[in-house]
Structure 1
Amino acid sequence: MRASLIQLSVDSSETAEERRHRAASLVRGRTGDDLVVLPELWTAGAWSYDRWGPDAEGVDGATAEAMSAAARQAGVWLHAGSIVERDADGTLYNTALLFDRAGDLHGRYRKIHRYGFDTGEATLMGGGDGIVTVPADFGVVGLAICYDLRFPELFRGLLDAGAELIVVPAAWPAARLSHWQLLTRTRALEEQVFLLACCAAGAHGGMRQAGHSMIIDPWGTVLGAAGTTEETVTVDLDMAEVTRIRTELPVLRDRVLAIQAPTTR
């Protein structure tokens, strides 16, 4: 299967609508891919807290509508990064959306681990409470977002829920690029999954983005990586490698302190 990460540049020079138009155009250009991934909170800006309220929307809002159409027109599974979702009760969530080739919404994940240390996301948004995996026509996809990378128990839960490929959209700060590179490879290696980590480029809310989006195989090998500017990374993946590697090096079979398998939704 062919996967592409679209490392969008997110800065204050564009409106959310302008970014939606540009992102949709880039997705439509990925005809022939199987899975396309966008970064975290690319419409409002993950660090532009002042935009979260005005740019918040439902899972059937303007971004979902545009991404659904783009997925259908390109004939791809589209992980549309994440949006600032406003729930019916007014609570904001950092919510990832996964569309199938027909443009139907097949997966919604509300970010569990909120970044900010009692500021920012940690105080302005609600937290999700469910592990999410989605069966696609190329394998089982697990969903996580950015700061989640620092919590290995989530990724072990995704593994136990059947994940063979995990997608992580992000808006990781450039100042901690080395952590991004280490944690993404570690999560792929320890769960023996393909990991698709799509980070934003540019700067917004005063925060320079790390970029360096990566596609990593179950050995922890980086198969493709971006730099610091807007670009697309495309790699052909052999999903049979997941089973082969788990058989050749059966560390998952040898687990002793296994956690209880989570409920998926």
Structure 2
Amino acid sequence: MKVAIIQLGYAEGADESVEERSERVAGLVARHAPGHDLVVLPELWSAGGFASTEWEGRSQDLSGGEVDLPPALVPVARAARGRGAVVHTGSVVERTDQPGPEGRHLWNTSVVLDPDGRVCASYRKVHRFGFGGGEPKLMEAGPDLVVTDLPAPADGLRTGLSTCYDLRFPELYRAQLDLGAELFLIPAAWPMARVEHWRLLLRARALEDQCFVIACNTAGTHAGVEMGGRSAVVDPWGTVLGEAGTGEEVLSVEIDTTEVARAREKFPVLADRRL
């Protein structure tokens, strides 16, 4: 499986609307999807991962528009069509008419598109970052684990979806493992101040669960917060197969999907779990 990670960046204060950013991202998808089986975008690239004061105004309704896509993702879906790749669109601030259990209307929602630009999987972020502010104050927590079989050509490994701060909670990944996960897809808006945590945790989640990790972070700045970049692909042995720098770039990595079964057979640590 050949993967393209689009580590999107944008400068603080740049004169780029959500619509303009969506068209720019669509252009990157159109350019890099050919020759790849899977394309991955970062978390909240349209709204800004730390731009919480802008989330309401940049929120998206997933239940209307073209093939039930929010406006920010319509250009991306159009760009994906006919280019032969599954596209994980990162995440958007989803807005719903009905409030969630805590009375909020916003969610941090990931959407995956098949090669025809249709939704084939979605995930609402379970763990909200902010210690009472930011996401916990403004957004609902997703209620469900999502482990899915992606369509061809990105098939072959059962895939668990998670987002950014989820990475700090190993029990989520153990639960996905128990649902058959062999690959973890993780879009993020992880800051530079804690980028070494990001790099360590990506390897830990891959190694402890003997899964591939494909993680797409953001570059640039969000609301004055410098993003960490360092998107990466990690194999089931904890080896980093490819890592981006700190600026906007596209990381292309090919993975051997048979390596999960090989690692689990050669070093069957998961069979010794007791708890």
State whether TM-score is above 0.5.
yes
| 1:53 aligned to which of 29, 53, 56 | 56
Please state if 1:124 is matched with 2:138. yes
SS for the counterpart of 1:177 is helix
**Which structure 2 residues correspond to residues 14-53 of structure 1 after superposition, within 5 A?**
14-30=16-32, 31-53=34-56
Which AA in structure 1 matches 2:4? S
In 1, Cα distance between equivalents of 2:21 and 2:78: 15
Which residue in 1 is equivalent to 2:127? 113
Which residue in 1 is equivalent to 2:79? 70
| 1:190 aligned to which of 208, 221, 230 | 208
Could you tell which deviates more after superposition, 224-233 or 131-140? 131-140
**Which structure 2 residues correspond to residues 191-230 of structure 1 after superposition, within 5 A?**
191-230=209-248
Which residue in 2 is equivalent to 1:86? 95
In 1, Cα distance between equivalents of 2:117 and 2:79: 8
In 2, Cα distance between equivalents of 1:102 and 1:37: 16
Structure 1 runs of 4+ with >3 Å offset: none
SS for the counterpart of 2:87 is strand
What RMSD, in angstroms, separates the aligned Cα atoms of the two structures? 1.1
| 1:98 aligned to which of 109, 112, 123 | 112
SS for the counterpart of 1:115 is coil
TM-score by length of 1: 0.94
Which residue in 2 is equivalent to 1:171? 189
Q: Say if 1:107 and 1:133, in contact at 8 Å, map to a contact too.
A: no
Q: Say if 1:211 and 1:229, in contact at 8 Å, map to a contact too.
A: yes
In 1, Cα distance between equivalents of 2:124 and 2:255: 27
Deviation at 1:67, TM superposition (A): 2.3
Deviation at 1:139, TM superposition (A): 2.0
**Percent identity, aligned pairs only?**
48
List per-residue Cα deviations over 1:46-83 (Å, max 9, x = no partner).
11112101110122211232222222232211000000
Which AA in structure 2 matches 1:82? S
Q: Unpaired runs of 5+ in structure 2? A: 63-68, 100-104
Which residue in 2 is equivalent to 1:3? 3
| 2:180 aligned to which of 151, 154, 162 | 162
Alignment size in residue pairs = 257
Which AA in structure 2 matches 1:23? V
In 2, Cα distance between equivalents of 1:205 and 1:160: 38
TM-score by length of 2: 0.91
